[in-house]
Amino acid sequence: MEPAEKATELFRQMNKNRRDVFKAYQSFTSSIKKGSSIEDKYQSLILIACSILSQCDMCISLHVQNAATHGATKDEIIDAGLLAVAMGGSPRMMYMRHIYEEVDKLFD
């Protein structure tokens, strides 16, 4: 199962088992996004960097796909990941493999 599919399954399980918490979380993140002055593409690129720093492979997959959907180029996506590597060092660099896996699926 792909990381994005794993995340979708996790969301389904959370919605089933703790719908109140999951809906509150969705509402919170949705309100941040709606009120933002940052365009969707750039929000996605920021979230890619945050995903690397958080070492979350499912998050990386989702945000790379979302960035591509909002018009980010392969180079922009990779550079967003590399900015996180610059802040987090070599342990974060190991998570770049997830970005390369995703962009290879989306752009090649």
Q: Which residue segment(s) compose the domain that 66 sits in?
A: 3-107
Give yes or no for a contact between 85 and 49, defined as CB atoms under 8 angstroms apart: no
CATH no. for residue 63? 1.20.1290.10
Going by C-alpha positions, the residue among 23, 18, 25, 77 that lies closest to residue 51 is 77
pTM: 0.84
On average, the pLDDT of the chain sits at 94
Domain count, the chain: 1
Instruction: For residue range 27-77, list pLDDT tens digits in order.
Output: 999 999 888 999 999 999 999 999 999 999 999 999 999 999 999 999 999
Integer Cα distance of 28 and 89 in angstroms: 31
